[in-house]
């Protein structure tokens, strides 16, 4: 695809449904007590893979992404011996949890990229929970043995796990919670660093037996000033989720907000181009809005109105107005909250004053591509100064006007979308070797980009 500079950025758009929420809605369609209606389901290839998996497990799927109805079978049974998860790690990991719970014997596989990504992060805790796998290698293909032994707990219904997350992962947490719901067991998951909570919200919306706890806090008089209080957090974790599986979930309708991770690319265009972009009905879950915090911290204005909550997920209208940008440091918990947005943050850094330092993102090496290497390679083609920090970070700094380039997507949708945004502000025409890979999360990406990028 030829990519042309278009430096005037302005417009209002509405995005397809949130990818993370869409995956979870489809999978929970297997566990409800009747037809489940889903509005604004993501039209990306990853979420279509989840729908195909749901159909292969006996559910009937009717309608389109605007309005889907999933009707579960009386019992979850795999029609085929193998389920292909395509390129979707979320499909594979969450499905492994759900199927471990209900004791279905099946093999999960995926495309070449997905087969290279780590699965031991779910294999280990699910095995601890009682699931049985056939000689797992730590990657796909992954064969679940099923039957009473493979179900949660020795009897298939009474198992329990009390698991503290070693690294932040909403997918691992969700796999354990879905396993408990499907198998009738109990999962207690403690997070030292909180991750996105779409699974917990949706389970509560569908009337699961779920409790979400915050750490205990002690308030005392300040010994140095009796007019003040001191606040002490007594627990060294941020969130604890407990789910008791006790039958079918209630089939309440689910309305999915626009994808905030996809919104980041269009907001980045406003930031770099000193323009203004408004996105309506976009998700505002507090575990997903770190990119808006980042934009404010580097100089942009962010305005939010029309706030409301539907199907337990907050949403609203967000307007980002660009300005002269400044580099900043990103690390620790903030990096974990921004993990999906790091490719576009690195792109924005090429148009900011001063260096941007990104640490604690080693997880990017095992995404759809090695995103640290993919990012660095493309930004260097533009003329940016890019250095690796140990094995888990980047330092990026502009080196004058950024130059056009022949970009490579590495088959990774977020890399392709990031360089497409960069191309708007280069000194000439660029190319992208594989524009089609954006269909993994947002098939209409380039159409939406045309609505906000002009001249």
Q: What is the CATH number of the domain that holds 28?
A: 3.65.10.10
* C-alpha–C-alpha distance, residues 350 and 339, integer Å: 18
pLDDT above 60 (res 75): yes
Closest CA to 42 of 188, 189, 260: 260
Catalytic residues: 340
pLDDT above 50 (res 152): no
Please tell me whether residues 248 and 271 are part of one structural domain.
no
Say if 225 falls within a structural domain.
Answer: no
Alpha helices (H) in 103-169, listed in sequence order: 112-115, 120-129, 147-150
Say if 265 falls within a structural domain.
Answer: yes
Query: Is residue 348 within 8 Å of 268, Cβ to Cβ?
Result: yes
**What's phi and psi for 324, nearest 5 deg?**
-55, 130
* C-alpha–C-alpha distance, residues 308 and 124, integer Å: 39
The burial class, CB within 10 Å (0-12 / 13-18 / 19+), for 93 is buried
Please tell me whether residues 247 and 274 are part of one structural domain.
no
Say if 230 falls within a structural domain.
Answer: no
Query: Is residue 272 within 8 Å of 6, Cβ to Cβ?
Result: no
Say if 11 falls within a structural domain.
Answer: yes
Which strands make up the sheet holding 329-330, listed edge to edge? Answer: 329-330, 356-358, 393-397, 385-389
What pLDDT does 154 receive? 38
Measured in whole angstroms, the distance separating CA 89 from the mean position of its chain's CA atoms is: 10
Average pLDDT, the chain: 94
% of the chain at pLDDT higher than 90: 88
DSSP string, 301-336: EEEEEEEEEETTEEEEEEEEE----B--EE-HHHHH
* C-alpha–C-alpha distance, residues 43 and 51, integer Å: 11
> Which pTM was predicted?
0.94
Say if 354 falls within a structural domain.
Answer: yes
Dig out the tokens for 38 from the structure.
Answer: 């889903």
* C-alpha–C-alpha distance, residues 79 and 315, integer Å: 37
Q: How many independent structural domains does the chain possess?
A: 2
Model confidence at 155, pLDDT cuts 50, 70, 90, reads very low
What pLDDT does 205 receive? 98
Q: What mean pLDDT comes out for the span 144-160? A: 55
**Domain stop point among 194, 228, 253:** 253
Say if 229 falls within a structural domain.
Answer: no
Q: What is the CA radius of gyration of the chain?
A: 22
pLDDT above 50 (res 316): yes
Please tell me whether residues 243 and 286 are part of one structural domain.
no
Please tell me whether residues 206 and 343 are part of one structural domain.
no
Cβ neighbours, 10 Å, residue 67: 13
Please tell me whether residues 326 and 391 are part of one structural domain.
yes
Query: Is residue 13 within 8 Å of 266, Cβ to Cβ?
Result: yes
Residues 6+ apart with CB under 8 A from 66: 39, 40, 41
Q: Give the Å distances, CA to CA, from 100 to 143, 156, 163, 179, 393.
A: 10, 10, 16, 6, 35
Please tell me whether residues 40 and 71 are part of one structural domain.
yes
Closest CA to 325 of 305, 293, 349: 349
Q: What mean pLDDT comes out for the span 316-336? A: 97
What pLDDT does 433 receive? 97
Pairing mode, if any, of strands 385-389 and 393-397? antiparallel
Please tell me whether residues 205 and 312 are part of one structural domain.
no
Please tell me whether residues 40 and 56 are part of one structural domain.
yes
* C-alpha–C-alpha distance, residues 303 and 337, integer Å: 20
Say if 231 falls within a structural domain.
Answer: no
Please tell me whether residues 310 and 397 are part of one structural domain.
yes
What pLDDT does 147 receive? 59
pLDDT above 70 (res 353): yes
Say if 316 falls within a structural domain.
Answer: yes
State pLDDT tens for residues 189-209.
999 999 999 999 999 999 999
* C-alpha–C-alpha distance, residues 338 and 222, integer Å: 36
State pLDDT tens for residues 109-149.
999 999 999 999 999 999 999 898 997 899 999 999 985 43
Dig out the tokens for 147 from the structure.
Answer: 């039957």
What pLDDT does 156 receive? 39
Alpha helices (H) in 227-277, listed in sequence order: 260-273
pLDDT above 50 (res 344): yes
**Domain stop point among 226, 253, 280:** 253
Query: Is residue 51 within 8 Å of 292, Cβ to Cβ?
Result: no
CA neighbours within 13 Å on the CB side: how many for 183?
38
The better pLDDT of the pair 258, 151 is held by 258
**Domain stop point among 228, 253, 278:** 253
Closest CA to 100 of 187, 32, 22: 187
Please tell me whether residues 171 and 277 are part of one structural domain.
no
* C-alpha–C-alpha distance, residues 132 and 156, integer Å: 11
State pLDDT tens for residues 422-440.
999 999 999 999 999 999 9
130: left (phi over 0), alpha (psi -120 to 50) or beta: left
Closest CA to 104 of 143, 78, 72, 141: 78
Q: Residue 123 has what DSSP assignment?
A: H
Residue 142 sits in which domain range? Answer: 19-218+236-253
Query: Is residue 61 within 8 Å of 54, Cβ to Cβ?
Result: yes
Please tell me whether residues 278 and 411 are part of one structural domain.
yes
* C-alpha–C-alpha distance, residues 449 and 412, integer Å: 18
Q: Give the Å distances, CA to CA, from 343 to 20, 100, 264, 394.
A: 18, 34, 10, 11
State pLDDT tens for residues 304-315.
999 999 999 999
Please tell me whether residues 102 and 116 are part of one structural domain.
yes
Model confidence at 230, pLDDT cuts 50, 70, 90, reads confident
């Amino acid at each position: 695809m030829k990519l042309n500079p278009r430096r005037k950025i302005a417009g209002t758009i509405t995005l397809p449904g949130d990818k993370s929420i869409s995956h979870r809605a489809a999978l929970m369609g297997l566990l409800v007590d009747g037809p489940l209606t889903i509005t604004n389901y993501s039209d990306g290839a990853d979420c279509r893979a989840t729908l195909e998996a749901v159909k292969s497990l006996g559910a009937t799927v009717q309608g389109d992404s605007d309005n889907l109805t999933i009707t579960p079978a009386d019992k979850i049974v795999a029609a085929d011996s193998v389920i292909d998860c395509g390129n979707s790690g979320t499909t594979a990991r969450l499905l492994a949890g759900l199927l471990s719970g209900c004791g279905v014997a099946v093999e999960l596989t995926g495309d070449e990229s997905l087969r290279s990504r780590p699965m031991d992060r779910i294999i280990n805790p699910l095995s601890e929970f009682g699931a049985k796998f056939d000689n797992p290698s730590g990657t796909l293909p992954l064969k679940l043995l099923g039957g009473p032994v493979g179900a949660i707990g020795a009897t298939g219904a009474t198992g329990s796990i009390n698991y503290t997350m070693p690294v932040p992962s909403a997918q691992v947490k969700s796999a354990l919670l879905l396993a408990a719901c499907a198998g009738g067991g109990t999962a207690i998951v403690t997070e030292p660093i909180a991750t996105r909570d779409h699974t917990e919200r949706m389970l509560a919306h569908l009337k699961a037996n779920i409790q979400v706890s915050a750490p205990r806090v002690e308030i005392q008089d300040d010994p140095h000033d009796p007019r003040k209080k001191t606040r002490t957090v007594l627990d060294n974790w941020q969130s604890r989720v407990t789910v008791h599986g006790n039958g079918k979930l209630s089939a309440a309708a689910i309305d999915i907000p626009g994808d905030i991770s996809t919104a980041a690319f269009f907001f980045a265009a406003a930031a770099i181009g000193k323009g203004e972009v408004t996105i309506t009905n976009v998700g505002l879950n507090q575990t997903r809005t770190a990119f808006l915090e980042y934009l404010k911290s580097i100089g942009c204005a962010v305005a939010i109105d029309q706030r409301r909550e539907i199907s337990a997920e907050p949403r609203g209208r967000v307007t980002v107005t660009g300005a002269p940008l400044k580099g900043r440091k990103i690390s620790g918990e903030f990096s974990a909250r921004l993990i999906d947005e790091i490719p576009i943050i690195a792109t924005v850094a090429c148009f900011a004053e001063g260096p941007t330092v990104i640490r604690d993102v080693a997880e990017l090496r095992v995404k759809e591509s090695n995103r640290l290497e993919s990012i660095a390679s493309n930004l260097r083609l533009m003329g940016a100064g890019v250095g690796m920090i140990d094995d888990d970070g980047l330092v990026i700094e502009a080196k004058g006007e950024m130059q056009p380039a022949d970009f490579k997507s590495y088959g990774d949708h977020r890399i392709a979308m990031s360089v497409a945004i960069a191309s708007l502000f280069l000194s000439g025409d660029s190319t992208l070797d594989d524009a089609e890979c954006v269909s993994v999360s947002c098939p209409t990406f380039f159409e939406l980009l045309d609505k906000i990028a002009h001249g």
